[in-house]
Amino acid sequence: MYNAELEGIFDGGKVFKGDGCSLSAGRSEAPETAIGFGNVWVKGLPRDRILSVLRPFTGLLQTVGLACADGERQSLSTTFFRAGAVRVCLPRNMSDACEGMPHDGEYPLRRYVKYVSVE
């Protein structure tokens, strides 16, 4: 976190600290690895650049917290799914998970179940 704060001096980013969590606001469009549990990156990405910026990261994209007008939710969700995201939800629901729901690039149930095949 301290390193992100120092880098913000040069790239215009800002870190907002909370109690056991933080939000990092960045100016670049490119995705970055999350700093760790309880820390979220927030970046602006113009609608017409979503696919071109995120497509190279297909297979690595995880949960998208989408804050937009209700009338835009379906088309934006479709765009993020085309870019490779596995889950689109409201920002307040990003940490929620239930059995079988994809979250952070995987299906949690697969951690506990072994799939086999017999011919």
CA atoms within 13 A on the CB side of 114: 2
Type of residue at 102: P
pLDDT at 107 over 60: no
Q: What is the pLDDT of residue 18?
A: 85
Residue 5: which of 27, 25, 20 has the closest Cα?
A: 25
Beta bridge partners of 65: 89
Task: Return d(Cα 28, Cα 101) in angstroms, integer.
Answer: 30
pLDDT at 118 over 70: no
**Rounded mean pLDDT of 84-91?**
86
pLDDT at 8 over 60: yes
- Contact assessment for residue 57 and residue 29, using Cβ atoms and an 8 Å cutoff: no
